[in-house]
Amino acid sequence: MHLRARLVFIAGLIAASANPASLRAADDISGMRLEDLLRVEVQGASRYAQPLAEAPSAVTLIPAADIRRFGFRDIGEALQSAPGVYTSQDRAYSYLGVRGFSRPGDYNTRILLLVDGARNNDPLFDQALIGNEAPIDIDWIKRLEFVPGPGSASYGGNALFGIANAVLWSGADLDGTRVSFDASSGAGRRASLLSGGRTAAGLDWVAGISAYERRGENLYFAEFDRPGISDGVAHHRDGERYVKAMLKLTWENWRGTVTASQRTKDVPTAYFNTVFDAPGNFARDRSFQVDVARTSTLAPFLDQQLRLHYGHYEYDADYPFVGVVNRDLTRADWWNAEWQLAWTGWSGHRLLGGIELRNQPRLLQRNYNVSPRVDNLNERNAGHGAGIFVQDEWRIAPGWLTNIGVRVDTSEGASPVTSPRAALIWHPRDELTVKLMSGRAFRAANEYERHYGDNVNQKGNPDLREERVTTHEASAEFTPTATLRFGLGYYRYKVRDLIEQETDPADGLLVYRNRDKLSAHGWETDAEILFGEGWRMRGSLAWQSISQPGGEVMNSPHRLGKLLLDGPLPALGATLGLNLQAMSSRRTLLSRVDGHVTGNLVLRQAERLGHGLWSLGIYNLTNRHYRDPVGTELAPIDALERDDRQWRLGWELEL
């Protein structure tokens, strides 16, 4: 263990060894006078959950009720309900597009995934895992928050286009056990158990475990249909399995969370020129993360939060080539330590400051041929970095609020990066809110881009600089009546030193380079209306345009539309959730894919009848055949068809 890590650990132990205070009985509190209540020292104050929901941005909140009502199956599908957000996938991973940006072949490196405020992107690929490969299960989420725009001023690297924060349930929220089983197309089945409560001594606990298996369907690929060689069908090569487990404990002002997940995906696409329809073509992601946080009060109006995070990530993949199996083996271990202070003693201000220390003792990338054994890559590295930030939320005058922040990040072998952000919010009357925001964010080149090189297909580039984005945006919210709301937003951003993969003409090897600038702008508008007895309809439209040298950007739709409708159907004793997604055509590497409209429909029993509650979801309702652009690693496939109509039947029980 490094000296730094050891010191941080000791700090944690010292903090832990403080005398445990006794917990006041609830009955005692409920009889107290107001003056006395305001003097009671409390634990578990809301600091953990606060920052994102109050971010000076157009935040989308997706509560668990919406996740159930619309039958969202993973984080990506839930986030896709937000204006201007879209997903694509290549039957290995899911990718999130924001503001027109989602380049095939890139991982989700420009979105930051937080779980209860803790960074979950791994330090090797920098990837925010949002599909079934995610480190957490969708059932564990109490609320999903999505903040579009640059977030590096508070959270450091990766927060270029947005931050997704998954707030997990607490035991007091659950107070019981939820069991669910579901069956779905492609011989899929899933079981999930989530349980939580609060003991008399004040220990709040949540435990969850879920397992999923899907055999997958036979998939036809015209690109591989060569008479005499192959019929173009990948026979049951699309299987997927995962197991995820979580334990979250809150006691006094301590909170600890452990999550573990393993997802294995059979890859049917013969990517990287592997053999089509061959067995043993898989990718496996494992993640294990421990997060310990403590909040406390140092003085009146001065709160602190300490956080220690340990993460472990593994990626294993087998690539069956003719006569030889090639294997990727990737391991990463990292520690993060964070200290934050919040001061509210200055009237009209809310000051927040913090430091973060990152240490990556192991960043291992190996690639070898299994038999006969040939080592192509064996790169072992370590890294560290630090960040410091400060921000102030200032209520200048009634109806006026500003939020100004800046963060400086350093990492080994790179010059410090400064990420400022400023927002001005004007709320002249109940019906209207206007926001102006500007900010800068960055992403440092990751270990994979700098050091992955087998020198057969790809070589590393240790000299890569960070990429930067500068964003300006304005938005207005108008709520003319209590049942009607309109939103309108405009943004403009510039990316420079974008890290892009290209072929080096000198040796024909793929390499990551800092490339030219690109600039983009877009409009987003949304509306919400409440009607009838509990019906709600939300719709959004987004127009986005990116210009870069070399023509239209890949996988960047100019227009996106969404419509979400939900409400009760008393005749059926059920609720209905209808989710329509429309997307205009997108460029692929070689041509284009057409625009499409797809819809998901979910019916859920409104109330439990006897034992359990049933739900039925139909995904891709009209059985639309639509395709996503994919990266060069899938050649000769240029665009990949998404799943056809799928169904899912669920049963859940609350105890």
Partner 1 sequence: MGRRLCAALPAALLFAALLATAGRSAAAAERADANEVKAAVIYNLLLFVQWPAQPAPGGDLKLCVLEEGALTTALRRHENKTVQGHSLRILRVGAAPNDLDACAAVMVETGSPELLARLRLVAHGRALLILAEGAGALDRGAMIGIHGDGGRIGFDINLRAMKSSGLGASSKLLRLARSLIE
- Of the residues 279, 280, 462, 534, which one makes contact with partner 1 according to CB under 8 A: 534
- Of the residues 1, 21, 191, 609, which one makes contact with partner 1 according to CB under 8 A: 21
Nearer to partner 1, 2 or 624 (CB): 2
178's tokens = 């939820």
Q: Contact, 647 vs 623, CB < 8 A? A: no
Task: Identify which range of 23-31, 70-78, 86-94, 503-511 contacts partner 1 by CB under 8 A.
Answer: 23-31
Which residues touch 1 (CB under 8 Å, ≥6 apart)? 9, 361
Q: Is 580 in the site for partner 1 (CB under 8 A)?
A: no
Q: What residues from 342 to 381 belong to the interface with partner 1 (CB under 8 A)? A: 342, 344-345, 347-348, 350, 355, 357
Q: Is 388 in the site for partner 1 (CB under 8 A)?
A: yes
Distance, C-alpha 160 to centroid of its chain: 13
Nearer to partner 1, 103 or 384 (CB): 384
Residue that the structure tokens 């909140």 belong to: 61
Question: Alpha carbon of 85 to those of 24, 101, 435: distances in Å?
Answer: 46, 9, 20
Return the DSSP state at 633.
Answer: G
Nearer to partner 1, 13 or 222 (CB): 13
C-alpha span between 363 and 383 (Å, rounded)? 8
Q: Is 396 in the site for partner 1 (CB under 8 A)?
A: no
> Which residues are registered as beta bridge partners of 393?
350, 403
C-alpha span between 73 and 132 (Å, rounded)? 8
Return the DSSP state at 101.
Answer: B
Q: What residues from 204 to 263 belong to the interface with partner 1 (CB under 8 A)? A: 252-253
Q: How many residues bind partner 1 (CB under 8 A)?
A: 102
What is the per-residue DSSP string for 306-326?
EEEEEEEEEEEEEEEETTEEE
> Which residues are registered as beta bridge partners of 333?
312, 362
C-alpha span between 518 and 506 (Å, rounded)? 26
- Of the residues 186, 202, 595, 599, which one makes contact with partner 1 according to CB under 8 A: 202
Q: Contact, 440 vs 469, CB < 8 A? A: yes
Q: Is 14 in the site for partner 1 (CB under 8 A)?
A: yes
Task: Identify which range of 12-20, 309-317, 516-524, 622-630 contacts partner 1 by CB under 8 A.
Answer: 12-20
Task: Identify which range of 361-369, 510-518, 529-537, 626-634 contacts partner 1 by CB under 8 A.
Answer: 529-537
Q: Is 63 in the site for partner 1 (CB under 8 A)?
A: yes
Q: Is 569 in the site for partner 1 (CB under 8 A)?
A: no
Nearer to partner 1, 30 or 371 (CB): 30
Q: Is 492 in the site for partner 1 (CB under 8 A)?
A: no
Nearer to partner 1, 133 or 393 (CB): 393
Q: Contact, 100 vs 553, CB < 8 A? A: yes
- Of the residues 23, 424, 474, 601, which one makes contact with partner 1 according to CB under 8 A: 23
Nearer to partner 1, 142 or 604 (CB): 142
396's tokens = 């200048």
Closest CA to 206 of 193, 218, 223, 222: 193
Q: Write down the least CB distance from residue 194 to partner 1, Å.
A: 15
364's tokens = 């291992």
C-alpha span between 330 and 122 (Å, rounded)? 11
> CA 622, 623, 624, 630: dihedral to nearest 10 degrees?
140
Binding mask 297-336 for partner 1 (x = CB under 8 A): xxxxxxxx-x------------------------------
Q: Write down the least CB distance from residue 365 to partner 1, Å.
A: 24
Q: Write down the least CB distance from residue 581 to partner 1, Å.
A: 21
- Of the residues 42, 183, 456, 572, which one makes contact with partner 1 according to CB under 8 A: 42
Q: What residues from 64 to 103 belong to the interface with partner 1 (CB under 8 A)? A: 65
629's tokens = 């652009």
Strands 111-115 and 162-168: parallel
Binding mask 604-633 for partner 1 (x = CB under 8 A): ------------------------------
Q: Is 139 in the site for partner 1 (CB under 8 A)?
A: no
Q: Write down the least CB distance from residue 257 to partner 1, Å.
A: 16
Q: Is 26 in the site for partner 1 (CB under 8 A)?
A: yes
What is the per-residue DSSP string for 104-127?
TT--STTEEEEETTEE-S-TTT--
Q: Write down the least CB distance from residue 91 to partner 1, Å.
A: 34
Q: What residues from 169 to 198 belong to the interface with partner 1 (CB under 8 A)? A: 170, 172-173, 175
Closest CA to 1 of 475, 460, 469, 362: 362
Q: Which amino acid is at 78?
A: A
